[in-house]
Amino acid sequence: MGSKNIYLDNHSSTQLDKRVFNQMKPFFTNFFGNPHSESHSYGWRSNKFIDISRDKIAKSINANKEEIFFTSGATESNNLILKGLAFSQKKKNHIITCVTEHKCILESCKFLEAIGYKVTYLKVNKFGQINLNDLKKNINKNTFLVTIMHVNNEIGTIHPIKSIGDICKKNGVFFHTDASQSLGKIKFDINYLNIDFASFSSHKIYGPQGIGALFIRKKNKVKLTPLFSGGGQENGLRSGTLPTALCVGFGYAIELAEKERVKNMKKIKNLKKIFLNLLQKNKVDFILNGKDVIENNINITFPKTNGDLLFSKLDDISISSGSACGSGSGESSYVLKELGINKNNAKSTLRIGIGKNNTKNEMIYFGSKILKILDDRN
C-alpha cells in the first residue's frame, strides 16, 4: 500500500469513469463534426448527441433541456450568472452572498463592487452556516440576486437552499446556487428548491474536465448579457464551438451518478465511518469542522500539530488543506478563518474528499499513518 499514492481529493476533481471515457472516445475520432455545422451529417450527428446529453442533465435536476446551457465549468457558469445578470439590470444593483462562497463568486462580486454594484456578504457561525434572519433583513428594494452555494467545497456544510429559495421567491429576488459539490450526491430538484439559476461541473462527478453547465429557469424570461462575443451559440448566451466529446461525457456521467447515487453514498459513508472510528478508538485529539455535512467530506483539524510536518509525512496521500481553486496563494483557508479557526489550527487541517473508488484498506492505511505521525510527534 505504501508504494501507491492514495487519492483523497475528490472535492477538487474525480477520476474519469472508464465507462464515461468509452462513451466519449468515438467523438474524438469518428464523430468529430462541428455540432454547429447545419449543412451535413457530421454536424447533425454531433448536435444530436449534445442534445441527448443536455436532456440527461435536465432530467437529473427536474428541468427542461431548453433550460440547460453548456459552459467550460462551474466557474464560467458562476461568472455568467453574476455578471450577465448584473449587466442586464436597469435599476437594481444589490447582490447578497456569503463570506465562505467559492472564490469565483467572491471575486466576481469584488469585480462588480468596483464598478458600482452593492454586495452584502452574510457572515457564518462556527459551523459555516448562515443565519436565515440575516438574509431576510438584508434583502431590500434594490436586491436582484441571492447567490449561496448548496454545499461548501471545503467544509462540506449543506446550506438550507430550500428555505433560501422560499425566502427569495417571497421577496421577488432571483436565487442562484453553485451545486458543483452536490450534483450526483444529493437529490437536487430545481422546482422543489425554488432555484432560478444553478451551476454544475462535470469533473466533480467522474466526468471529463473542461465542461460544465448552467441552469436558467425559462419561465422567468431573464435576458443575460453574454460575457464574450462570437457566433451566438447556446441561444446567443455563450459563443464558441461546443466540445461534443466532453458534452457526451458529462451527460453519461450524470446518468451514472444518479443511477448509482444511493449505492455510492452508502459506500462513502461507511468509508468515512471506518476512518473516524480508527481515530476515535485510539483517542486522537481532533475537531470536525462544519455541521450537516455531506457524506463525502471530512474537514478535520488536529490541534497542536505542526501542519507543515503533517503534510510532509503524508506524501503518499493526495489531500489538500483547502480549495484547489485558491491554491498557490500561500495563505490559510479563508473559509476556516471565517469559522473563527486560528491560523495554526487552520494549517493543521486536512480536507479529505472520499470518492466511490476509494477502499476500506485505503482508509485504514490513511488513518494508521496519521496515528503514526501523531505518535512520533510525542
For the full predicted model, state whether its pTM sits above 0.85: yes
The DSSP bridge pattern shows strands 94-98 and 118-122 to be parallel
Q: Using an 8 Å Cβ cutoff, are 354 and 299 in contact?
A: no
Query: How far is it, in rounded angstroms, from Cα 330 to Cα 351?
Result: 16
* pLDDT for 322: 60
Query: How far is it, in rounded angstroms, from Cα 174 to Cα 159?
Result: 17
CATH 3.40.640.10 in the chain, residue ranges:
18-259
* pLDDT for 38: 81
Q: Using an 8 Å Cβ cutoff, are 242 and 233 in contact?
A: yes
* Active-site residue identified among 98, 104, 109, 325: 325
List Cβ neighbours of 11 (8 Å cut-off, separation of 6 or more): 153, 154, 181, 204, 296, 297, 320, 323, 324, 351, 353
Q: Which CATH class is domain 6-15+261-377?
A: alpha beta
Query: How far is it, in rounded angstroms, from Cα 23 to Cα 254?
Result: 13
| Residue 259 in grid coordinates | 443511477
* pLDDT for 330: 56
Per-residue confidence of the chain (378 residues) as pLDDT tens digits? 445 799 999 999 999 999 999 999 999 998 888 888 788 888 878 889 999 999 999 999 999 999 999 999 999 999 999 999 999 998 999 999 999 999 999 999 999 999 999 999 999 999 999 999 999 999 999 999 999 999 999 999 999 999 999 999 999 999 999 999 999 999 999 999 999 999 999 999 999 999 999 999 999 999 899 888 888 888 778 888 899 999 999 999 999 999 999 999 999 999 999 999 999 999 999 999 999 999 999 999 999 898 888 988 999 999 987 644 544 455 789 999 999 999 999 999 999 999 999 999 999 999 999 999 988 765
Longest dimension (CA), the chain: 72
* pLDDT for 328: 47
Per the annotation, the verdict on 325 as an active-site residue is yes
List Cβ neighbours of 263 (8 Å cut-off, separation of 6 or more): none
Element (DSSP H or E) covering residue 71: strand 68-71
* pLDDT for 58: 98
* pLDDT for 230: 85
Cα atoms found within 13 Å of the Cα of residue 20, Cβ hemisphere only: 25
Residue 377 CB: number of other CB atoms within 10 A?
Answer: 13
Closest by Cα among 366, 354, 358 to 181: 354
CATH 3.90.1150.10 in the chain, residue ranges:
6-15+261-377
Backbone angles phi, psi at 119, to 5 degrees: -130, 130
- C-alpha dihedral (172, 65, 73, 21), degrees to nearest 10: 160
CATH of domain 18-259: 3.40.640.10
Query: How far is it, in rounded angstroms, from Cα 347 to Cα 320?
Result: 11
